[in-house]
Amino acid sequence: EAQVTQNPRYLITVTGKKLTVTCSQNMNHEYMSWYRQDPGLGLRQIYYSMNVEVTDKGDVPEGYKVSRKEKRNFPLILESPSPNQTSLYFCASSSSRGAEQYFGAGTRLSVL
Amino acid sequence: DQQVKQNSPSLSVQEGRISILNCDYTNSMFDYFLWYKKYPAEGPTFLISISSIKDKNEDGRFTVFLNKSAKHLSLHIVPSQPGDSAVYFCAASEMYSGGGADGLTFGKGTHLIIQP
């Protein structure tokens, strides 16, 4: 079954404690992306990757890092989380940059 | 600067009637438009799309209309069913023109509520 898998689904952490949210897709997609969803703000892109070792900033990259060492994986790293990063995060992938994207189920993060 | 706008945060429609969700865009380079549906606690799922060379695309109860001159698209759901209650996101991209490396640009969403 074609899918995008994110882990964990729920995470509560404290300010400053580094964390990683993993994302994996099994569709051999070249394009992957991270979004955050906040009330009244819709989906905002954090980072995207057009292929292995190629990543770039989206609209709200501050406080986040990503890596793309393998085609299937695109982890999101918060080196020093802060309360304003409390949000719902989605990973997505697509066959090309403008095509329909397939989304993971989401990771709800709370930073205390 | 918001390039894709959904001006109605919510919409309430009676079951069996037509639901019309609207979306406006400002970037004339957009050539591919999509609608996504999102239930609580799930990721958005792709619903229907349309390229800029068409003005209508239909898939079962869902039809998307594109008016390029007005930079406007709409999603029609007929007839509306209780399971259609969800948040709907409009999205756009420069898929065919080769631009827009950042992929899809999303609107803020419209919460559709189907009343029994």
Residues of B in contact with A42 (CB under 8 A): 89, 106-109
Spans of chain B, pLDDT less than 70:
98-101
Other CB atoms within 10 Å distance of the CB of residue A30 = 17
B13 touches chain A (CB under 8 A): no
What type of residue sits at position B67? N
pLDDT at B41: 85
d(CA A36, CA A38): 7
Please state, rounded to an integer, the average pLDDT across all residues of chain A. Answer: 95
Q: Which residue of A has its CA nearest to B93?
A: A98
Asked if B86 reaches chain A (Cβ–Cβ under 8 Å), the answer is no
pLDDT given for residue B100 in this prediction: 66
Whether B39 and chain A come into contact, CB under 8 Å, resolves to no
Using a CB-CB cut-off of 8 Å, the residues of chain B touching A29 are: none
Q: Across residues A10-34, what is the average pLDDT?
A: 96
Q: Of A74, A70, A67, give the one whose Cα is nearest residue A93.
A: A74
- Which residue shows structure tokens 């989304």? A103
Retrieve residue B43's tokens. Answer: 């990721």
Contact A105 B100 (CB under 8 A): no
Inter-residue contact A25 to A6 (CB < 8 Å): no
Residues of B in contact with A102 (CB under 8 A): 46
User: In terms of Cα–Cα distance, which of B87, B102, B92 is closest to B11?
Assistant: B87
Distance of CA B100 to the CA centre of its chain: 19
User: Exposure string (b/e) for B76-96, b if CB count within 10 Å is 16 or more?
Assistant: bbeebeeebbbbbbbbbbbbe
Hey, CA dihedral for B65, B18, B6, A10, is it positive or negative? Answer: negative
Lowest-pLDDT range, A59-73, A93-107, B60-74? Answer: A93-107
Candidates A101, A104, A105; nearest CB to B104? A101
Give the distance from residue B2's alpha carbon to the nearest chain A alpha carbon, in angstroms. 11
- CB < 8 Å to B110, chain A: none
